[in-house]
Chain A
């Protein structure tokens, strides 16, 4: 009864943990039972436990349709674009901001760049709509003013990976550049001084000092992103694209697909199968990439 003894000894400490533990149990572990529905034909009247087992039927339906390929591809492709462009631009911004001597300019620029992080996806969605809507959108008005043909952007799935990437960079470049700036601030000024004595230009200093010394931070952030590559950002995609069906071919991700299966089609079993597929793939990816992170930099592994 070592456990009981330990708890009795520190009873007040364990008492402090009770609300948090209860929360994890109820809101994180109990709902894991929902994964069972993936193997059942769920009917509301029968409940989770009473519904009939159907083996892998729900998975069969999902994998036999072309949907699984589309949503998996979109999830990975969009997340890939977000990681590469998001981190890339944030890195450039951080390096450039760091090179700027005027403190006031730097502060103001940084404040503006960080601002989009604070607004919700629905507000972002409204802004995107203001730019792209067919009749009164800024883009179409500008095109028309220059004698060009306005287009119905909300019917053109091809451009949306680019649109979403731009929106992502716009919203998160500030966030990531803060991390990079913190890492750059940790670099000793002596490196730059001696480089200057040797006649290195600013650009050479960036390439040969700054970037190599914050490489690990970049790698860790990239790995964190890649580890979660199977999880689409529901708030972002559903907030911006919503129920605009013509855009599904390029924007529908696993999360929005399973949401619609659940809330709009009421197909609990299908939704559950899709989500279990996502959770398992997600777990496998993060375990693999954690091992990779450990190899590159033993301090940076996640667990």
Chain B
């Protein structure tokens, strides 16, 4: 958009230090305070969930949620881990995320490569076909009938994987990347006798790692966090992903039977809040741990996506 002007950042960063007047200083303090408080507000809910998942259930009941840990109890985690549900939900979420991401990246990159290829005469028609699905949806009812009645995918893992294999928005991010690759690569390989399949899998994919990582992580996040598909198509508890488990814990009357499996009997009172918070921690745990490493890929993806509209 505004990229015609070259970036001169370092010059500015040095200049910033020269402010002296009182109002300027007050303004700087205000900048730090505002951004700092906002960052804190973003962090506190995570902190609360973590701390209170280790709190004693009776302590929450008595004092409410704690900002600072008063006591330390693993009872909620013990309860969750003893049950069968968390293991099967973890398995479902992981399987769907891994299989879905791999398939989605493959389908999307192959498709995007064709949309970006100058040799393909009908690429703008294909682009429009893709774009149109973004502005005129099939809607819930047709989608439901398709999955449930025509493809018979209810209560299968395919219902959680297939519907997200090609996201037009991510496809266009890839298209814009493939367009930046020099066409000479293609010509040289063709002269050497490689066909388009070989060129794509042997040459293009290996040099496209950055965009594959970015788009792949977006897909993985979508698969991991989704509950819509499970809500629509999965009634069988054994196939509930983690997000669905959280939903059941919010709304389910019989948490003990759900988390533990129906035959389990507990004679202790049920740590309702603890179980909810512990499950949340187990669900967002992998994301929070990976966050420092994956953040930059998301920043890149968002920036490309936004600049390409």
Contacts and interface: CB of A to CB of B under 8 A. Distances in A.
B137 interface: yes
Interface in A32-65: 32-35, 37, 44, 47-48
B16 A30 contact: no
Contacts of A243: 251
A187 B2 contact: yes
B111 to A, nearest CB: 3
Contact of A122 (B42, B196, B247): B247
A178 interface: yes
Given A17-B126, A101-B17, A118-B221, A299 B228 contact: no
Given A13-B117, A16-B200, A202-B27, A29 B165 contact: no
A111 B291 CA distance: 9
Q: Is the interface of B mostly helix, strand, loop or mixed?
A: helix
A130 B19 CA distance: 43
Given A213-B2, A243-B251, A202 B146 contact: no
Nearest to B10: A189
B35 A299 contact: no
A267 to B, nearest CB: 10
Contacts of B284: 118-119, 123
Please tell me the size bucket of the interface on B. Answer: 35 or more
A130 B65 contact: yes
A272 B139 contact: yes
B263 interface: no
Nearest to B106: A19
A16 B143 CA distance: 25
Contacts of A12: 195-197
A247 interface: no
B73 interface: no
Given A16-B196, A186-B7, A34 B137 contact: no
Interface stretch (B45-53, B77-85, B206-214, B253-261): B45-53
Interface in B283-306: 283-284, 287-288, 291-292, 295, 298-299, 302-303, 306
Contact of B119 (A13, A33, A100, A275): A13
A31 B145 contact: yes
A68 interface: no
B303 A282 contact: no
Contacts of A31: 138-139, 142-143, 145-146
A113 B42 contact: yes
Contacts of A32: 136, 138-139, 142
A123 B280 contact: yes
B24 A202 contact: yes
With most chain A CB atoms within 10 A of its CB, the pick from B23, B35, B46, B107 is: B35
B193 to A, nearest CB: 13
A243 B251 CA distance: 9
A279 B117 contact: no
A193 B146 contact: no
A188 interface: yes
A99 B139 contact: no
Interface string B32-60: 10111011111101101100100000001
Given A16-B110, A130-B45, 4 more contacts: A120-B225, A131-B45, A170-B41, A286-B135
12 contacts: A10-B119, A31-B139, A32-B139, A34-B143, A97-B35, A105-B32, A115-B43, A115-B46, A186-B7, A196-B18, A220-B309, A242-B251
A-B interface, 4 closest residue pairs, ranked by CB to CB distance from nearest = A34-B142, A20-B111, A31-B142, A31-B138
